[in-house]
Structure 1
Amino acid sequence: MIAKRAGNLALSAALVALGLLMIAPILWVFVTTILPAEQRFALPPKWIPTEFDFSAFGKVFDLIPFWKMLLNSIVITGVITLGAVTTSVLAAYAFSRMEFRGRNALFILFLAGLMIPQQITIIPVFIAMRELGLVDTRASVFLPFLVNALGIFLLRQYMLSIPRELDDAARVDGAGRLTILWRIILPLARPAIVALSIFLFQVYWNDFFWPNVFLSSPDKLTLPLGLVSLQGAQGESEAVVVFAAITLIVAPLLLIFLFFQRALVDSIASSGVKG
């Protein structure tokens, strides 16, 4: 018993040390941003500030249209997340609960799409957006991602673990497919849906490649593009301004994770139990 407790204590200490090591760069960036100028890059680094200087954040707002970029990122990422989750739920329900000709072949085609790097499709997608007159609009960034093959696959696998007896019981009571989906499948699949939403949000919030291809107007740029333009504006100036911008960009992701971490952990745990 003593040996087991000692082993658990050692494992916990190792995990805590690993966690601190992982968050140390993020913490250093944030602390450096709010330190006075003479303390920012001291050796050894100062981890606990006693004096504060928030002027770097003000310089971010002076150098780039931060609020417009924030709005663009929120709109684009929000539309992609909502649209991709909606189509993934509907498609996953069809693939897991409905029998129709060509179902397996169609699902294999979706899976095949996961093996194609998105960058390879940039030319045909760009041509399609140009023909539609959508280049340099938010729609050109979010339209290609309203269907997500990975989301369909993950939710289908999760829905397959939900007993079909629940569907049969609902049909006896006169429920249709949409009622079953809304009242039975969605509540039971909530952890997986939340996990997928968080994953999609953080991926497209940080996306640089696609907005950089389709957006050119300064008032339509997203935050990752703004960070690059800020680095160009700074030149050889203080790196702390870039650190401040990074802090502002990362903060929403941290808040979302903290707010939904219970649902994310429940999703991982329930997936492990059902798997």
Structure 2
Amino acid sequence: MVGQVLQRPWEKALAYLFLSFSGLIMVFPFIYMVASSLKTSSEVVQVPPQLFPSVLQLGNYIEVVNIVPLGTQLVNTVIVTALVVLGWVITSVLAGYAFARLEFPGRDLLFGAYLGTLMVPFAVLIVPMYRIMLLFGWVDQLTALIVPWLFTAYGTFLLRQFFMSIPKDLEEAALMDGASRWGVLFRIFLPLARPAMATLATFGFLYAWNSFLWPLIIISSPSKKVITQGLVDLQALYAVRVDLIMAGSTLAILPTLLIFLLAQRYFIEGIATAGLAGR
């Protein structure tokens, strides 16, 4: 119906103009942040403001990496995020397949209890989790940012719903041909589940990269902090240097933006497929 309504050229032009204007409004804060990160400290607070700098100050990025140290914290964030995403995908695939295809006593009850953990506020878990990390000697260690987050009920639910949408005939035919459960999982289910796994990996990346409260509680050494903590330290130490704060924010946001753009196709496919899986 939309295609029939926009048959006239002026209607299409008006629609494209509206969408372009809306997109520009949404992307303008990001453009202003990047432009401000390349200005001098006086140009950022200049009145009236100017969008683009007169001379590019690329040294802002070098300075902000050295003073926090944001470079080390960026590396820590990459390590933590990569391992958390890998853990999310592996554990969710195994658990999702088990809950979707394997018959064992108490399966539905266990799955319901696992999903129930999504309703528990994180504030309730802070004290027991900290006590556990203290018992293991993981306080102020990157291990405390990785191991507790290798499992996700949301990812298990997402993969379970996807696996349930796959016809059982494929699985039964493979089992009759002599394939094991592991063979069915790796040769049939995983190739079909790439969109769902890409969706889960995207969510896991955004979650781990932007995590702040738990690292703030468990990590105190500057050399072991993550990027979100580094931005807070940068703002506390150089509150008047808006150009440096903008440079640090740009470094923190760019990876998430790139990951989303690269995985956008799988992200949309995964959401659409997961939405149809429960039919």
Q: Same fold (TM over 0.5)?
A: yes
Cα deviation code 1:28-80 (max 9, x no counterpart): 10011113555434556544556422222122023112221112111111111
- Which residue of structure 2 lines up, in the alignment, with residue 58 of structure 1? 62
Residue number among 172, 175, 185 corresponding to 1:171 in the alignment: 175
Residue number among 259, 263, 279 corresponding to 1:260 in the alignment: 263
The answer as to 2:166 corresponding to 1:162 is yes
What letter is aligned with 2:172?
A: D
- Contact 2:161–2:274 (Cα < 8 Å) also in 1: no
- Contact 2:37–2:246 (Cα < 8 Å) also in 1: yes
Residue number among 72, 79, 87 corresponding to 1:83 in the alignment: 87
- Contact 2:43–2:53 (Cα < 8 Å) also in 1: no
What letter is aligned with 2:6?
A: K
Q: Percent identity?
A: 37
Higher deviation after alignment, 256-265 or 224-233: 256-265
Q: Distance in 1 between matches of 2:110 and 2:276?
A: 29
TM superposition shift of 1:146: 1.0
Change in Cα spacing, 1:178 to 1:53, as seen in structure 2 (3 Å) is same
Q: Distance in 1 between matches of 2:221 and 2:72?
A: 12
Residue number among 119, 122, 129 corresponding to 2:126 in the alignment: 122
Cα deviation code 1:80-114 (max 9, x no counterpart): 11112111110000011111110110011111111
Give the alignment of 1:182-261 within 5 angstroms: 182-235=186-239, 237-261=240-264
Q: Distance in 1 between matches of 2:5 and 2:80?
A: 53
Change in Cα spacing, 1:184 to 1:10, as seen in structure 2 (3 Å) is farther
Change in Cα spacing, 1:216 to 1:265, as seen in structure 2 (3 Å) is same
The 3-state SS of whatever aligns with 2:178 is coil
- Contact 1:72–1:220 (Cα < 8 Å) also in 2: yes
Unaligned regions of 5+ residues in structure 2, if any? none
- Contact 2:39–2:56 (Cα < 8 Å) also in 1: yes
What letter is aligned with 1:257?
A: F
- Contact 1:88–1:148 (Cα < 8 Å) also in 2: yes
The answer as to 2:23 corresponding to 1:19 is yes
TM superposition shift of 1:168: 0.8
The 3-state SS of whatever aligns with 2:104 is coil
Higher deviation after alignment, 113-122 or 8-17: 8-17
- Contact 1:91–1:152 (Cα < 8 Å) also in 2: yes
Cα deviation code 1:166-222 (max 9, x no counterpart): 101111211111111101111111001001101111111011101111111111111
Q: Distance in 2 between matches of 1:209 and 1:268?
A: 28
The 3-state SS of whatever aligns with 1:15 is helix
- Contact 2:73–2:225 (Cα < 8 Å) also in 1: yes
